[in-house]
A and B are shown apart, each in its own frame.
Chain A
């Protein structure tokens, strides 16, 4: 910095405002754009597939279903098979992808905000390791496949994820109060332990390796409405809580003492955000397996678009995350059709070069 004693009268005269991306001044525009992108990818997601569906008829049929309760009836002209593919296969899958992507992205953004750490992701506090162990255990040992209407693997993964985060929170709080560095280390300890347990179970049950790996790599292929219904209450609640917490997270960002001097309870607030973010992560993992990258990178993309304020990063992350995962799922099920690629692989394959490009462009603009 070259500020001199005179800079108090003419502040900033030497600095061009080049470090302010254009979108930062128009967060509303970015939000609308991200919402439009989500809508477009959702439509593309139901159009594209092995059985081609006429786009116009798809839109009319969807409108018919949406407006049906209001007494409006439209005929899209889809055949019975086409309608079944649309409503029972594509739609639940696309909706689930959007939910999971949105949940992971906002969860990652919240974790990054609350820990003031750009490398934080939704699996930081043991959600992934716990879910992995839960899923592995039931795949290897469970004699039943379903509990009531629900698959046992999602159920076990959800319970495992919540237990993992619960252990990390308990350990962190007992040893270091609400101090975030201690909590991070507790998460690492718990995750390492659970991952070791999972590896042990895998090693004892090599017959199930394929199925376990299939789950670990993330998949939306078996998506049904029942899974959407399982995940929706948790994901919906968690996302709503996090959306409301954006401004509070901005206060936390100035450090605990200063946040307290502004009238906030840093410990309570942090706990609320961590619980909500972990709930979103657990619900996402339980229905889709371990999908990496979205929760880590989408918040950074959002930050590049709207700046560092969590009040804007969280909603934008939510929308971009949903759109991104729907898009990657389209790729995952079309490039090697009729087979499918694991979506966890595709998110990294598409996301990493895209993010590298973003970093490149950002560096050149500076």
Chain B
């Protein structure tokens, strides 16, 4: 596809020696990750392991040491607008402003591409229309966000991120508020966009089976360190789940990736 939204291919992301703290508590310790263009890396790990902080540090929202490079260029030297043209972000609980229509919300994604105070141009409108069509939001365009269902809202947030025409999508728990069916729809959509546009995807996912099914690489964060990194089948092992989650689970290999099955305690 050569629509305006697919003008650029995915970027290579390198995270080197990333260390971050809340006050005196160190939450990330020398994290090192590499994402190849067009790859999907899911960061997994128990609650409080630093998944969201990792994403926020990569975006530059959280003070940190170490370096993040986009196609070899350190983000610290980039202007905020330029960074926003490369990295798009969908937070775990997006703020959906009152009384704003889906179209207006998606159009906010054009912010880094136009002067902040200027009116949208033709190219902005056409990118927005294109993204909304691809995500099947055109019929919801004039509805306010509050009237959308949870799955539709998540799609609107994705559309806003795509309207940025980014090279990397950073998704913090994109399925947190969704039931299984809607979670699958959203992840299928991300997967399709990744394959069509060659976008690089970095997401956190707390559902291990979904992470194993959709991502091509997993990074297991535990206590702020990368405990394991690699293809899902290598990372999702009963031993790792026991050590880092304190969980009893069996892992079943499948054609599309491993499935994690929790096992109840027997006394």
By a beta-carbon cutoff of 8 Å, the part of chain A in contact with chain B is 1-5, 7-13, 15, 17, 19-20, 24-25, 116, 118, 244-245, 247-248, 250-251, 253-255, 257-258, 260-265, 303, 307-309
Q: How far is the CA of A119 from the CA of B82 in the complex (A)?
A: 36
Min distance, Cβ A361 to any Cβ of chain B, angstroms: 16
Contact of A8 among B61, B89, B136, B164 (CB under 8 A): B136
B238 near A: Cβ within 8 Å?
Answer: no
A263 touches B81 (CB 8 A): yes
Contact of B94 among A12, A247, A258, A309 (CB under 8 A): A258
Contact of B143 among A8, A19, A253 (CB under 8 A): A19
The residues of B that contact A3 with a CB separation of less than 8 Å are 149-152, 182
B63 near A: Cβ within 8 Å?
Answer: no
Q: Which residues in window 33-63 of B have CB below 8 A to A?
A: 56, 59-61
Q: Which residue of B lies closest to A265 (CB)?
A: B80
B257 near A: Cβ within 8 Å?
Answer: no
B111 touches A257 (CB 8 A): no
Q: How far is the CA of A253 from the CA of B96 in the complex (A)?
A: 8
A264 touches B111 (CB 8 A): yes
B80 touches A260 (CB 8 A): yes
Q: Which residue of A lies closest to B114 (CB)?
A: A247
A10-B139, A254-B95 known, 15 other contacts, Cβ within 8 Å: A1-B149, A5-B182, A8-B155, A12-B140, A12-B143, A116-B97, A257-B56, A260-B61, A261-B84, A263-B83, A307-B100, A308-B99, A308-B100, A309-B99, A309-B104
- Between A25, A245, A255, A262, the greatest number of chain B beta carbons within 10 A of the residue's beta carbon is seen for A262
The residues of A that contact B118 with a CB separation of less than 8 Å are 247
Number of B interface residues at 8 Å Cβ cutoff, please give it.
50
Min distance, Cβ A141 to any Cβ of chain B, angstroms: 45
A11 touches B111 (CB 8 A): no
**Contact count A vs B, C-beta below 8 Å:** 128
B117 touches A245 (CB 8 A): yes
Contact of A262 among B97, B119, B164 (CB under 8 A): B164
B97 touches A248 (CB 8 A): no
A5 touches B181 (CB 8 A): yes
Task: Encode B85-105 as 1/0 by CB contact (under 8 A) with A.
Answer: 101110100111111110011
A20 touches B95 (CB 8 A): no
A8 touches B185 (CB 8 A): yes
Report if A257-B91 is in contact (Cβ < 8 Å); known contacts: A8-B151, A250-B108.
yes
Q: Which residue of A lies closest to B181 (CB)?
A: A5
Min distance, Cβ B19 to any Cβ of chain A, angstroms: 20
A308 touches B98 (CB 8 A): yes
Q: How far is the CA of A307 from the CA of B98 in the complex (A)?
A: 9
- Between A253, A261, A309, the greatest number of chain B beta carbons within 10 A of the residue's beta carbon is seen for A261
B201 near A: Cβ within 8 Å?
Answer: no
B147 near A: Cβ within 8 Å?
Answer: yes
